[in-house]
Amino acid sequence: MTGPRYTKLVDSLPATVPFVGPEDQERNAGRPFAARLGANENGFGPSPRAIAAMAAAAGEVWKYGDSTSHDLRAALAAHHGVGIENVLVGEGIDGLLGYLCRLVIEPADAVVTSEGAYPTFNYHVAGFGGVLHKVPYKDDREDPQALIAKAAEVGAKLVYLSNPDNPMGTWHDRATVEAMIAAVPEGTLMVLDEAYVEFAPEGTEARIDADDPRVIRMRTFSKAHGMAGARVGYALGAPGLIAAFDKIRNHFGMCRISQAGALAALEDRTWQAYMRLLVAGARERIGEIAEANGLQALPSATNFVAIDCGADGDFARAVLRELGELGVFVRMPFIAPQDRCIRVSVGPETELEAFAEALPKALASARAGQSR
Give yes or no for residue 127 binding a second copy (CB under 8 A).
yes
Pairing of strands 304-308, 233-236: unpaired
Q: Which of 33, 37, 44, 266 binds a second copy (CB under 8 A)?
A: 44
Position 291 contacts a second copy (CB under 8 A): no
**Residue 334 within binding range of a second copy, rule CB under 8 A:** no
Question: Quick check: bond before 48 cis, omega within 30?
Answer: no
In the list 37, 82, 92, 168, the residue contacting a second copy (rule: CB under 8 A) is 92
Lateral strand order in the sheet of 189-193: 87-90, 233-236, 215-220, 189-193, 158-162, 110-114, 131-135
Which span (87-95, 331-339, 349-357, 358-366) binds a second copy, by CB under 8 A? 87-95
Contact assessment for residue 344 and residue 37, using Cβ atoms and an 8 Å cutoff: yes
Phi first, then psi: what are they for 90, rounded to 5°?
-150, -175
Choose among 362, 344, 348, 347: nearest CA to 293: 362
When binding is defined by CB under 8 A, the residue of 34, 39, 132, 146 that contacts a second copy is 39
Per the CB < 8 A criterion, the answer to whether 228 and 42 are in contact is yes
What residues contact residue 54 under an 8 Å CB cut-off, 6+ apart? 46, 230, 257, 258, 260, 261, 264
d(CA 185, CA 237): 17
Give the shortest CB-42-to-a second copy separation in angstroms: 5
Task: Give whichever of 58 and 364 is closer to a second copy, judged by the CB atom.
Answer: 58
CB burial of residue 115 (10 Å; 0-12, 13-18, 19+): middle
Least Å distance, CB 139 to a second copy, is: 30
Binding-site size, a second copy (CB under 8 A): 92
In the list 32, 70, 274, 364, the residue contacting a second copy (rule: CB under 8 A) is: 70
Cα(196)–Cα(192) distance, integer angstroms = 11
- Toward a second copy, which CB reaches closer, 209 or 312? 209
Report d(CA 305, CA 294) in Å as an integer. Answer: 15
Interface with a second copy by CB under 8 A: which range of 96-104, 308-316, 322-330, 351-359? 96-104
Contact status: 261 vs a second copy (CB under 8 A): yes
- 274 binding a second copy? (CB under 8 A): no
- Determine how many CB atoms are found less than 10 A away from the CB of residue 335: 15
Q: How far is the CB of 52 from a second copy (least distance, A)?
A: 8
Give yes or no for residue 42 binding a second copy (CB under 8 A).
Answer: yes
Q: Site for a second copy (CB under 8 A): which residue of 32, 106, 138, 273?
A: 106
104 within 8 A of 189, measured Cβ to Cβ: yes
Is residue 21 involved in binding a second copy (CB under 8 A)? yes
Q: Is position 228 an interface residue for a second copy (rule: CB under 8 A)?
A: yes
Task: Decide if 180 contacts 147 (C-beta within 8 A).
Answer: yes
Three-state DSSP class for residue 159: strand
**Is residue 256 involved in binding a second copy (CB under 8 A)?**
yes
DSSP-based helix, strand, coil % in the chain, nearest 5: 45, 15, 40
**Could you say whether residue 198 binds a second copy (CB under 8 A)?**
no
Considering only 78, 138, 250, 325, the residue that binds a second copy (CB under 8 A) is 250
32, 201, 213, 360: which one binds a second copy (CB under 8 A): 213
Identify the residue among 88, 91, 142, 159 touching a second copy (CB under 8 A): 91
32 binds a second copy (CB under 8 A): no
Contact stretch for a second copy (CB under 8 A) within 142-150, 184-192, 284-292, 322-330:
184-192
**Which residues, numbered 150-179, are part of the site for a second copy (CB under 8 A)?**
157-158
Q: In whole angstroms, how close is the CB of 17 to a second copy at the nearest point?
A: 5
141 binds a second copy (CB under 8 A): no
Separation CA 196–CA 171 (nearest Å): 10
